[in-house]
């Protein structure tokens, strides 16, 4: 029958829920329970208890190396405060806040009808008359559009041989003020969102060309799974996984870093359904990122890659015209901040591109890598949330621009005197805003670490239990995380702690959670005395 101590615990909840929850944590020895789940609690604590370095320089002999770079995690941490401050001010300037994008192009891969109905999915556009004339499509197309024979066109977009993404046709799209449409949680979840990420990871895997190059055999495409279970694909030990070449690992690190960064932004800007205010959600961050430290590593990886591109573009960006009018208003401030970012990039952006795309088959691998990333940029047209689609386009364009600068352009091409129209305005805007997004992700991690440090033992236990429960994929009802699951200590504790929080916040979830808890108890008690299913009347679903 039901253990007597559980009856006592449940009755205690009715009298003093918070004290009973504390007693339950001590009685059930929560850490031992979590140690058997897929949520890696020790790694969660390692992520959140780490103290970022504040004074470090890149070394050839690395103490915390980032693969294919000549820099370490400590160095990136030591400069990120300054980097983020400069970038945060820079993206508020007129040149970098206006972005033109076509957000209503049809999904080219499947019929997509799942649009986000949440108001947070919507965006605010800017009338063209509010955009300085020099930045309007009609003017930019005179100098930025490459000749027809240098581009491959598709409906509404095109790419050049050197491009790693599809660029929007200048005759289509709207102007968006990025500062008025921040990236944050919109409620866009479910099958549609999952299909987008699943396609990015699973349907763009390296296929026959790479397998033939590496093994000399025909084979099925390499298996690719979602982040958190990609350890074989992302293994740094080539001896253990000979089919996964360095280029493939770099590709998936870039994609997974983007995914982790977006997840961090979403968790940093989530609406509290009780207060109606936007703010950080530590449980969200632990569930999505801190439980899988490799995801945080990929954010660092992408940050160094973007810094390398900015470093190479230093002379070009320094000579770029950032003025929308002949009065040159704000140009000095924009250039001053940009030069500080370039200085940091030149010191820290030590991505080592020379180790990639080497050998007699380098061009084949490069083209496959490029084709995959172009597909990712097109999958953004399948996102059913306008704001998510916007930031997906901005950041895939930013990463694609960085890849083009690093792998396609030599020093002669980067000369601002010889090639003034090397990049389109949208590419420059996307590159800087994407670097800002990744730098902001690292700043957000520090904020989450402070929240963790301020949490008491009970709160830490609740957060770790929540991560373990989320990792198991157990079904949840609309009121209680434990409804419909087995009446076991771990699930009970999670539901109780959620209920305690709801009662503390004086929400309807307090009452509904109590009802769900009672229903679970009565259902469990009833199952104890039920002899067999043969004597049961069939349920309506079974008829």
Question: What pLDDT tens digit does each residue of the chain (543 aa) get?
Answer: 444 444 454 445 444 544 454 444 344 333 322 223 345 557 787 778 777 766 555 443 334 567 777 778 888 999 999 999 999 999 999 999 999 999 988 888 888 765 677 888 999 999 988 888 888 888 888 778 888 778 888 888 888 899 999 998 877 889 999 999 999 888 888 888 888 998 888 755 665 333 333 333 333 333 222 233 233 333 343 333 444 678 888 999 999 999 999 999 999 999 887 888 889 999 999 999 999 988 999 999 999 999 999 999 999 999 998 887 655 566 788 999 999 999 999 999 988 898 888 877 788 888 989 999 999 999 999 999 999 999 999 999 999 999 999 999 988 888 888 888 899 999 999 999 999 999 999 999 999 999 999 999 999 999 999 988 888 754 333 333 223 333 333 444 445 555 555 555 444 445 545 555 555 545 444 443 444 343 333 333 333
**Cβ contact 83:108 at 8 Å:** no
Report helix angle 386-407 to 293-312, nearest 10.
Answer: 60
Tell me how far apart the alpha carbons of residues 153 and 227 are, in angstroms, rounded to a whole number: 33
Rg (CA), the chain: 26
**Cβ contact 173:101 at 8 Å:** yes
- Residue tagged active-site, from 71, 385, 503, 510: 385
- How many CB atoms lie under 10 A from the CB of residue 299? 26
Domain layout of the chain by residue ranges: 4-36+474-531, 73-451
What pLDDT is stored for residue 282 in this prediction? 94
Comparing CA positions, the residue from 314, 307, 316 lying closest to residue 402 is 307
Task: Verify whether residue 388 is a known catalytic residue.
Answer: yes
In residues, how long is the chain? 543
What pLDDT is stored for residue 49 in this prediction? 76
- Residue tagged active-site, from 71, 116, 388, 503: 388
Tell me how far apart the alpha carbons of residues 141 and 136 are, in angstroms, rounded to a whole number: 9
What pLDDT is stored for residue 40 in this prediction? 56
What pLDDT is stored for residue 327 in this prediction? 57
DSSP string for residues in 393-429: HHHHHHHHHHHHHHHT--TTTT-TTT-TTSS-HHHHH
What pLDDT is stored for residue 481 in this prediction? 29
pTM, full prediction: 0.73
Tell me how far apart the alpha carbons of residues 3 and 180 are, in angstroms, rounded to a whole number: 56
Task: Verify whether residue 385 is a known catalytic residue.
Answer: yes
CA dihedral 438, 440, 441, 443 (to 10 degrees): 130
Tell me how far apart the alpha carbons of residues 273 and 250 are, in angstroms, rounded to a whole number: 39
SS3 content of the chain, % helix, strand, coil (to 5): 55, 5, 40
**Cβ contact 86:339 at 8 Å:** no
**Cβ contact 384:192 at 8 Å:** yes
């Amino acid at each position: 029958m039901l253990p007597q101590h559980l009856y006592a615990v449940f009755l205690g909840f009715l009298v003093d829920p918070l004290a009973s929850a504390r007693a339950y944590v001590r009685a059930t020895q929560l850490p031992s329970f979590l140690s058997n789940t897929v949520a890696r609690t020790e790694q969660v604590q390692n992520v959140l208890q780490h103290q970022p370095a504040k004074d470090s320089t890149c070394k050839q002999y690395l103490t915390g190396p980032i693969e294919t770079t000549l820099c370490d995690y400590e160095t990136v941490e030591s400069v990120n405060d300054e980097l983020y401050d400069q970038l945060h001010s820079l993206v508020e300037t007129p040149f970098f806040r206006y972005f033109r994008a076509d957000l209503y192009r049809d999904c080219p891969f499947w019929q997509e009808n799942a649009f986000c109905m949440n108001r947070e999915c919507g965006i605010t556009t800017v009338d063209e008359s509010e955009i300085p004339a020099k930045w309007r499509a009609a003017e930019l197309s005179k100098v930025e559009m490459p000749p027809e024979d240098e581009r491959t066109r598709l409906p509404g977009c095109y790419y050049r041989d050197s491009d790693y993404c599809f660029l929007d046709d200048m005759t289509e799209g709207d102007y968006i003020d990025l500062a008025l449409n921040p990236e944050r949680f919109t409620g866009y979840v479910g099958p549609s969102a999952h299909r987008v990420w699943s396609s990015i990871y699973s349907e763009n895997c390296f296929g026959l060309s790479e397998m033939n190059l590496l093994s000399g055999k025909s084979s099925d495409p390499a298996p690719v799974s979602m982040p958190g279970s990609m350890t074989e694909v992302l293994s740094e030990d080539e001896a253990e996984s000979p089919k996964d070449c360095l280029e493939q690992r770099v590709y998936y690190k870039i994609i997974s870093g983007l995914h982790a960064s977006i997840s961090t932004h979403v968790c940093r800007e989530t609406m509290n359904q009780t207060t109606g205010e936007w703010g950080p959600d530590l449980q969200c961050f632990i569930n999505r990122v801190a439980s899988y430290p490799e995801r945080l590593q990929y954010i660092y990886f992408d940050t160094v890659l973007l810094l390398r591109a900015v470093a190479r573009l230093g002379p070009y960006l320094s000579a770029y015209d950032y003025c929308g009018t002949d009065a040159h208003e704000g140009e000095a401030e924009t250039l001053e901040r940009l030069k500080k970012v370039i200085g940091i990039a030149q010191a820290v952006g030590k991505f080592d591109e020379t180790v990639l795309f080497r050998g007699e088959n380098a061009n084949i691998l490069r083209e496959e890598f490029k084709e995959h990333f172009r597909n990712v940029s097109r999958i953004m047209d399948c996102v059913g949330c306008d704001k998510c689609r916007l930031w997906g386009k901005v950041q895939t364009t930013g990463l694609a621009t960085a890849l083009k600068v690093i792998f396609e352009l030599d020093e002669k091409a980067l000369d601002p005197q010889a090639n003034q129209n090397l990049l389109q305005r949208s590419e420059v805007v996307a590159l800087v805003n994407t670097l800002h997004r990744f730098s902001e992700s690292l700043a957000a991690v520090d904020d989450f670490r402070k929240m963790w440090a301020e949490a008491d033992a009970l709160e830490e236990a609740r957060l770790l239990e929540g991560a373990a429960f989320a990792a198991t994929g157990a079904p949840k009802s609309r009121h209680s995380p434990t409804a419909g699951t087995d009446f076991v200590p771990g699930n009970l504790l999670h539901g109780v702690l959620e209920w305690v929080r709801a009662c503390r916040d004086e929400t309807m979830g307090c009452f509904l959670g109590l009802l769900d808890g009672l229903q679970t108890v009565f259902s469990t008690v009833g199952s104890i005395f039920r002899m067999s299913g043969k004597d049961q009347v069939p349920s309506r679903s079974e008829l």
